[in-house]
Amino acid sequence: MKTKLCELIPGQEAIILFFDSDELSLKLMEMGCVPGERVLIEQVAPLGDPISIYVSGYSLSLRLNEAQHIIVELTN
């Protein structure tokens, strides 16, 4: 099932499919968010922004406005 990364909850794992924003794609790839990479949602801040994900061997914080441009497919 395809969805946006920002819609996942802690504990869910997905694979990055693509980005729907050319503006952010280079920035996201430099941070390790590349298509085909597994992503685990670690935590969501109390007010919902930012989120903490585990990707490419490390934890990364993303703002929701960045995570909404990452299209993923759930693996669990």
Domain of 18: which CATH number? 2.30.30.90
| pLDDT (0 to 100) of residue 41 | 97
Range of the domain at 58: 2-74
Secondary structure class of 29 (helix, strand, coil): helix
Please count the structural domains in the chain: 1
Q: List b or e across 9-27, with b for residues whose CB sees 16 or more CB atoms inside 10 angstroms.
A: eeebebebeebeeeebbee
Question: Among candidates 50, 47, 53, 45, which has minimal Cα distance to 63?
Answer: 50
Going residue by residue through the chain, which has 76 residues, state the pLDDT in tens, using 9 for 90 and above. Answer: 899 999 999 999 999 999 998 888 999 999 889 999 999 999 999 988 899 999 989 999 999 999 999 999 999 6
| pLDDT (0 to 100) of residue 64 | 93
| pLDDT (0 to 100) of residue 76 | 66
| pLDDT (0 to 100) of residue 34 | 94
